Amino acid sequence: MAAVETDGKTIGGVFVEAVESFGSNPFLMVPVDAERSYHPEGSTISFASAAAQVDTYKEVLRTAGYGHGHRIAVLLENRPEMVLMKLALASLGISWVPVNPDYRPAEIGYLLSDSGVAFMISVGSREAQARNGIGESGRDVPLVLFDGGKLVVPEAAEAPPKDGPVSPATEASLIYTSGTTGKPKGCMMGHEYELMMAVWYSSRGGLLDVREGQERIYCPLPLFHVNAGILLVLNVMLTGNCQILPERFRASRWWPEIIATGTTAIHYLGVIVPVLMNQSPSELDRGHKVRWGLGAGVEPTLHGPFEKRFGFPLIEVWGMTEMCRVLCDHEEPRQIHTRAMGRDGPQLEVRVLDAENNEVPVGEPGELTVRYSEAEPRKGAFSGYLNQPKATEEAWRGGWFHTGDTVTRDSTCMLYFVDRKKNIIRRSGENIAAAEVEACLQDHAAVAQAAVIATEDEMRDEEVMACIVAHGDANKGEALARSIFDHCFERLSYFKAPSWVVFVDKLPVTGTQKVLKHMIFEDSVDPRGLADAYDFRVLKKR
């Protein structure tokens, strides 16, 4: 349970109280890694040390004229400074706009343009990437290069846009998440929402037992995601615990780092599980202190064998940026041979609906919809999509947030994940909007039509498949497929580029020319095995 009360408070105020309660406790830890460009010898930052650094950042920003209502883009990778900067910004009422390090310049440019940030902070090694993104934005966005030393920022061009004190409703973060319209949507997230998700996490109980001041939670997920950058950061802040920040997931370092840091819990993605299971058995398998893992996407056939081999439960959860009070299967008897994802309850009500917004019978698939309560449906949720009020209201139609996930429900109210209703591909934890990839494909001179679908992948859950109708004079074959792949890889984040390119004669469409993606291939056909399908997975690297 959270040790610091949060009702009616802001992140900055709660952080001050956490420092008073847990000053000497470790708050952030970077494992030793001689190959890493920052903190190669490792680093441990106590609550008190973190507060001193946060105060320094705050004073620099305040003196330069930044405050309540500004937004600042932050590209600091998985460094502890990414977390400390978020806390400094939140304390001043400035919104933290994290930037995915895998973004291409055009994607950074869109974020900078849409968000209206006052300036951008980046590590020096990403200066060219940041400047190219600024060039794509059409705005004159100042760039601050910062590698953990002295912070120097430009004078604010305009006064803070909001008067009055920072409140629970103040925007704390603006996180861009994939949508079905092609461009990512900016999810506005308030102080109250972010604190509520952390309290929810820390109070689940059962196997998800978060002990005050005793946990060291290892999380290889990126800090620009809500999971690592908000849900876990604020959870350890409230409970006096420590977040361990590896640069990324690497199988060879997973157990050595977990053992060396005294890790007691982990965050994971489903893709990590088969990688670890494929390693040769060793004394490291049980040489750790891990009590539980929290994550999503474990294949049911691997869930039990993983727990038996490594000796701790993997607690499967459901959550999303817009509504991150997670559902979780955290009490015995768990249903680890299924895709069970927990039950609803107070503060997170659930309905499973058909296309006409009618509740479906037990056992029938439908769309997962969620709310806080009938009286306050949007309490403890995101504040809306930036610059997209119609999309926000559409998502909340009928007083329920429509998640786009298809689930079933049994007679005990247990929910089971089935599929994603929205046109989203889920690759190793990354949400990829098919429409964004399709828009890029259509810019290739040889592409007449394109449809992007998800295809199964044994390692990464799903992969991106581009179904291409080529212009009549194009010479279809591996060379053209490679050209199409290269075209996307140069313009999109590496993970969004098509892993498979398959040529088709035509795309099935409705009377209004909407592509019927489920009819491109017959149910009995695995398109990966077709003669005109080309596999570029080996080329999808950072």
How do residues 154-174 score in pLDDT, each as one tens digit?
Answer: 999 999 999 999 999 999 999
How far apart, in whole angstroms, are the C-alpha atoms of residue 426 and residue 419? 10
Residues 6+ apart with CB under 8 A from 418: 339, 365, 405, 406, 407, 408
CATH topology of domain 11-342: Rossmann fold (3.40.50)
Task: Identify any residues that bridge with 206 across adjacent strands, giving them in sequence order.
Answer: none
Ramachandran angles phi, psi of 206, nearest 5° = 60, -135
Domain ranges of the chain: 11-342, 425-539
How do residues 273-323 score in pLDDT, each as one tens digit?
Answer: 988 998 999 999 999 999 999 999 888 989 999 999 999 999 999 999 999
**C-alpha to C-alpha distances, 106 to 39, 135, 225, 320, 485, nearest whole angstrom:** 30, 9, 20, 25, 17
Put simply, whether the predicted model's pTM sits higher than 0.85 gets the answer: yes
Burial class (CB in 10 A: 0-12, 13-18, 19+), 376: exposed
Is the CB of residue 326 less than 8 Å from the CB of residue 316? no
Matching fold, domains 11-342 and 425-539: no
The 8-class DSSP code of residue 290 comes to -
Identify the CA nearest to 348 among candidates 379, 307, 317, 382. Answer: 379
Average pLDDT, whole number, for the chain? 94
How do residues 476-506 score in pLDDT, each as one tens digit?
Answer: 999 999 999 999 999 999 999 999 999 999 9
Is the CB of residue 349 less than 8 Å from the CB of residue 372? yes
Is the CB of residue 450 less than 8 Å from the CB of residue 441? yes
How far apart, in whole angstroms, are the C-alpha atoms of residue 139 and residue 135? 7
Supply 329's token pair: 């299967």
How do residues 189-217 score in pLDDT, each as one tens digit?
Answer: 999 999 999 999 999 999 999 999 999 99
**C-alpha to C-alpha distances, 248 to 178, 252, 272, 339, nearest whole angstrom:** 21, 11, 11, 26
Superfamily of domain 425-539 in the CATH hierarchy: ANL, C-terminal domain (3.30.300.30)
Identify the CA nearest to 298 among candidates 277, 314, 285, 282. Answer: 314
Supply 39's token pair: 């903190």
